[in-house]
Structure 1
Amino acid sequence: MPTSNDGIWLRTATASPQLVARSAAAAKLRNVIEEVSEYAEHPREKHLGPVVLRRGRRAETTTTDQRLLDSRGPTDWVHTDPWRVLRIQAEFVEGFGALAEVPRAVTVFGSARTPRDHPEYELGRRLGAALATAGFAAITGGGPGAMEAVNRGASEAGGLSVGLGIELPFEQGLNPWVDLGVNFRYFFARKTMFIKYAQAFICLPGGFGTLDELFEALTLVQTKKVTKFPVVLFGRSYWGGLYDWVKNSVYGGGKIDEKDVALLHLTDDIDDAIRVVQEAYKAWEDTH
């Protein structure tokens, strides 16, 4: 049965004790952050840029404990930017804590709208199984469609299935095949986890979200923020037009170099995709 520590979900049958302990610690730290945020709302000093005002400070009529325990007080402060900074920090702490023990992994993107009876769903399922067989955990956005297919294939093959969810107006929650799940409010925190804990990206057919993640990965590789990190476009009939545009228009127009085009690997073959991932991982190991 899955267990939850705030935004972190663990399917305990496949989660290691270290992962369980780290997720619990992250949840406790988040509670501490929430408590100390009271000081941001009621500072002992008033700061105006580099200027500190002390003498004009009004006397507090209640104690910090009273304000902490009073549920009838104003709540607008939780929506202010200082509070959001703490919430953002908490998301990074939770993500790092929950995923630190994840073994080598590949992040797979794809459409949430892929129906279960579509050939692309079965393709994602086979890809997830192949990653697990090759010794890689599968990381997805944790949603339905192609993401569910990859998580399902990895889980059925005995691998670790990871889902990094996002809070959306039309959110459907983590799919049932996620063994380790973390929910995020902010895209940038979630994207950091996709990159940090993966050794490669594989993009199944998808929409704007998949394109966003694809081009962010390409930018990070091109600017050498990450190294030895292949980006695989799976499905020639779907991605071929984009690949041709990058090659003919973007490169042809002098906006990128030839080596930048080579960052993309276009394929229809699961074994070929796994080979690219394994070769890149071996190259990374040889330099670390």
Structure 2
Amino acid sequence: MSAPTESSRHTNSPLPGSGAWRKNGATHQTADAKLLETPRSSAFTHTDPWRVMRIQSEFVQGFDALAEVGPAISVFGSARTKPDSPYYITGMEVGRRLVEAGVAVITGGGPGSMEAANRGAAEAGGLSIGLGIELPFEQGMNEWVGLGVDFRYFFARKTMFVKYAQGFIVLPGGLGTLDELFEAMVLVQTGKVSSFPIVLVDRNFWAPLLDWIRSTMVTEGLVSPGDLDIFSLADTAEEAVALVLAGKAGEQLAAQES
């Protein structure tokens, strides 16, 4: 990097007495003076350093809210699922069965299948958690969330889904659901999390995707055959809950009872 020109050194000359010092006739502002100087505009609140502080605050908020949750399972699914859909009914039963087993339910806090799982958990008298995200087309937390945390950033929210859950139950969904599913699979595949069950509900819904992974990705050597063992398949809420509790959540429940 070239040295600053003489003209650039004097562009923002400080006022006398504002923490300035002189060297070879040129006036320079000290670091402390710059720190304590009243900003001339709110521009800093739109810069990356300020965003880092906001990101940090989201992590702190999430850690503080969820630190004492205990055993929990994250339930994913479409925000577009209607209350009369079989997927909604299954989501409610999943939430209820998890709570009856002594496990908290974590969702994205939105409508559809997320609402269903929160509703099942709340109606069963358990802890119903929603991790909301700021989106232009969704309307905040559903009414069945007992403990809600709002996020601006997807990556901060995703950290909470994994950090405070011991497994995932994945109901049929769209791009957001696939995003969460594949991220969870990669975390297991790369050893970032262990004993972390992932259960896909409704074999018929997931079959075309899994067939493509086997016939194309595995065949071309892009995915190892063993990677398909990362997840399990279920057709009922009862089966899904039993499979997911075979992992860390079940271990924690057993430890609490012993």
TM range (shorter): 0.7 to 0.9
* Number of aligned residues: 231
Counterparts of 2:211 and 2:31 in 1: how far apart (Å)? 68
Match of 1:165 in 2: 132
RMSD: 2.6
Match of 1:130 in 2: 97
Change (3 A) 1:112 1:58: same
Corresponding residue to 1:56 among 24, 28, 31: 28
Counterparts of 1:199 and 1:63 in 2: how far apart (Å)? 44
Change (3 A) 1:100 1:55: farther
| Same amino acid, percent of matched pairs | 55
Corresponding residue to 1:184 among 151, 154, 175: 151
Counterparts of 1:109 and 1:120 in 2: how far apart (Å)? 11
Runs of at least 5 residues in structure 2 that lack an aligned partner in the other structure: 1-18, 21-25
Q: Which secondary structure does the structure 1 equivalent of 2:73 belong to?
A: strand
| Bigger mean CA deviation after superposition, 219-228 or 114-123 | 114-123
Larger Rg: 2
Match of 2:11 in 1: none
Aligned residues of 1:236 and 1:268 also touching (Cα < 8 A) = yes
Change (3 A) 1:283 1:59: closer
Counterparts of 1:191 and 1:237 in 2: how far apart (Å)? 27
Output one character per residue of 1:89-147: Cα deviation in whole Å (capped at 9) or x when no partner.
00000000100000100001101111112221111111110111111111000000110
Match of 1:231 in 2: 198
Output one character per residue of 1:205-227: Cα deviation in whole Å (capped at 9) or x when no partner.
11110000000000000000000
Q: How does 1:1-288 map onto structure 2 within 5 Å?
A: 56-57=28-29, 64=36, 67=38, 74-281=41-248
Runs of at least 5 residues in structure 1 that lack an aligned partner in the other structure: 1-43, 46-53
Output one character per residue of 1:144-202: Cα deviation in whole Å (capped at 9) or x when no partner.
01100000000101111000000111230000000000000000000000000001111
The letter of the residue matching 1:261 is: L
Q: Which secondary structure does the structure 2 equivalent of 1:232 belong to?
A: strand
Counterparts of 1:226 and 1:210 in 2: how far apart (Å)? 19
Counterparts of 2:106 and 2:75 in 1: how far apart (Å)? 6
Output one character per residue of 1:241-265: Cα deviation in whole Å (capped at 9) or x when no partner.
1121222222222222222111121
Change (3 A) 1:74 1:237: same
Match of 2:3 in 1: none
Change (3 A) 1:227 1:233: same
Aligned residues of 2:75 and 2:117 also touching (Cα < 8 A) = yes
What is the TM-score of this pair, normalised by structure 1? 0.74
